[in-house]
Structure 1
Amino acid sequence: MLTGFAVVVALASLAVAGWCFVQAARNRPPRRPLLIGLAVVELLLAAQVVIAVVLLLSGQRPGSMVTFLAYLVGSLLVLPLGAMWALAERSRSSTVVLGVACVTVPVLVLRMHEVWGGAGA
């Protein structure tokens, strides 16, 4: 895993999470700019998948392949699932759901990084 890129993904996700929580505090439902922010984070996560696939094809391996792949797939799914919920409900609480989904992403990225680093352990 590329540590620098993982940090960028985590920080971008936390920035969008903060934006979500500010919007929720202002009693605002999710709107297009916020959804665009989510899309940017999702694109970063897709790029992380490409990086992981390239590293795997080059012969590098995580400590536990199954665990790594579960976190990788989970990181890709959490934002779209949160967005589906938010678009179905369009309320203040759905903005909070998006914030929670965005806070989940750095946790998943951190765990992926830890599992990848465990290859030598």
Structure 2
Amino acid sequence: MFDALVIVTLVASGALAVFGLVETARGRPPGKPLAYAVYVAVGLLVVQAAIAAVRVFGGVQVPEPTTFLIYLLVSVCVLPIALQWANADPNRWGGAIVAAGAVGVAVAVLRLQGMWAVTGA
């Protein structure tokens, strides 16, 4: 995985978490700006997952390939699910749901980077 892309993804996830918490503190239901922020973060995650999956299937040996691929899948799926859940009952807590998802994604990306670092690739 590219270190620069990992850093950008982590920054985007952190910014999304802060944005979600700010929207919650303001008492607003999730709106289009929060949705667009989620789309940007998911776009970065899809690019990261595609690059990593191609490299794993291309021969890079990670310690636990199944676990690694599951982390890739989870990192891409969490934010859309969190946004859907936040929009299912739009109230002031929707931003907190997205923020929790963003923190979960950041943890998954850090775990992916740790597993990738072992490969030395």
Q: Structure 1-normalised TM-score?
A: 0.93
Instruction: Work out the percentage of aligned pairs sharing the same amino acid.
Output: 36
Aligned length: 120
User: Deviation of residue 56 (structure 1)?
Assistant: 2.1
Q: Counterpart of 1:93?
A: 93
The corresponding residue for 2:51 is 51
Shift of 1:32: 0.2
Query: SS where residue 93 of structure 2 aligns?
Result: helix
- 2: distance between equivalents of 1:118 and 1:72? 16
User: For residue 31 of structure 1, what is the aligned residue in structure 2?
Assistant: 31
Greater shift in the superposed pair: 72-81 or 46-55: 46-55
CA distance in 2, matches of 1:73, 1:54: 13
> Which residue is equivalent to 2:64?
64
Distance across 1 between alignment mates of 2:18 and 2:35:
13
Contact 1:14 1:103 in 2 (8 A): yes
In the alignment, structure 1 residue 83 sits paired with structure 2 residue 83: yes
Unaligned runs of 5+ in 1: none
TM-score, structure 2 as length reference: 0.93
Deviation at 1:104, TM superposition (A): 1.1
Q: Tell me what 1:21 maps to.
A: 21
